Structure 1
């Protein structure tokens, strides 16, 4: 018998923070904490493992609590049992992975669904061609990914077409993400019920303090190095182009990150005495501390549905020198930063900031104000709570 709990919300996600892995999909946890503060009762069911393979085994469900949030962790089979036993007023799903969504659609009756599309589950393999290398191992891995991606995209296309039959709302972090999903899934009509709500930025942690003008010489970057989508090679090219600048020696580049591409990517700038390279990822509190020591964010990209690290740096008052592509223009304006076509334009932007301290200070202040108005906790939480409570 299904237990009716019409005032409760279930959040389903392919991963959730725990004591052993505190940063696992932490952006979902930050949302849930906000819901609890608003008096919305939320439970979480986490389904880790391969997003392309449905596991219908039913081992014991792991139960734990983090920051007052009750979490169940199990397989697709465990999720099926859970949904058979208990009814919720709404179900919130992060990532529209085929395996999880099939279980949800089959076992939730007419329960309204809110589905967050984050990108990785809704982008065609063709948009990841930049990751191809000459390595036979990497080529074989990529070829194996193509059919899995095609199956996933066909499923998402069918999911969109179910909107006429089911109370289902999609949430995107940018308009770019919605448009690309429609294009890559080949849906016959545009998505009817959707909202564009960005990932939240913790503006209390990444708080603005007026920048000393000398911080315009200090240039910051923190990125993973496991994919070419992060365009760390373009960051390196920008630094190399700046070597011809008359005041290059005054600049200080503070670079943080790790991943399989790290060593090869930073090799061309290893000998530069004003480039400080730190191998390893930083926790959020440490990133916020490094923001206080820098004034410019140099962060190109080949593909971003929002650019959360960029938004965090802007909240702290760093002036973004970034790529003019994908969703980035939705989060950076000309008054608060520089949208650039490549390393040449990025180098020119940095030189302009260095030679014009007044421009640097004004853009720093504007960057923080601009992004807080878009992505701060109260702004995002208001949008999401209104969606969740909507009848």
Structure 2
């Protein structure tokens, strides 16, 4: 009976991760609508699914309240808590209080799932559950694209591109970046059984990414894979690590100057225009609106309300109708101002540095995961808007990564004084 309950809970976790990834539900409910098609569909099933996940997550947290409370208190992630609280209280000044109330509720609900994920499962168990999740996404994406091309192929972009079980090719591309990271780490982990399965998952993730034609996701994955091997240098002896890092920094600086001077040529060679598909024309307009309410923004989700909201200025001057600024950092400034952006970066960099400390004292490939995911978020948020997005797998895994590194850091701090005390007692006894 106990094993059955464990399997049922793991099944719930995988199902929740699938829904949080944005796979299947919206695509099927919209009837496989294209990017430019305005289709009205009943989204009540999606809302019910998320509500059920919130309820079950809360129940499971209550059943293990001591462990959940231990993670919350012991991690001391004050910046993350403050950011979430700011999103909730932004209903006071929000330009659309009802949207802020709804979005804040879903943000807290999905953040609680991140807490559940890290408090219930070890890092190794988290990886296996993520591998199952992305394995299902990969298999279904091939089925949808080959057997149900109306759903799995996006044909309104000039040429048919794969979108798998997502509503847009960039959705498939973004998830395959995370999938590639998960399978790369599992395949690289020593002593792992059935490593060929993980390398197969990595190869199929790469194939889907290429079939999706998502250039930005492919570029992000290239950087992340290079970062994975660069992070290994951090574990080398200092006399070797320091000269190597200096050499890498010099090469990186040279590449940066070259790319800065040849950005237009490089973008044209990969089929991209210098405006990054209109982003560089959109961003100045967004910045104009940020400076109208720079400190606390327009409220969480309070800006993009079409022609009836402050976003009308963007739509009128941009010549098209975006629903987000195509930058996670600008989106955060619109929602919660420079205060929200500052809280995020303070928490991000503290967790990032603690991730380096954690990784330095470990030989396991799994312990690179928090750094890998946070690096991906940092890069992807330059051109994508899902930084502080509720009901998002990216945000959930960020919350879990922050809790993980904070817990490891606090344990190390609390453990070292005990080791010194024991060492002092041993010395005293020997005298």
**TM-score of the superposed pair, with normalisation by structure 2:** 0.22
Structure 1 or 2: larger strand share?
1
Which structure has the higher relative contact order (CA within 8 Å, separation 6+)?
2
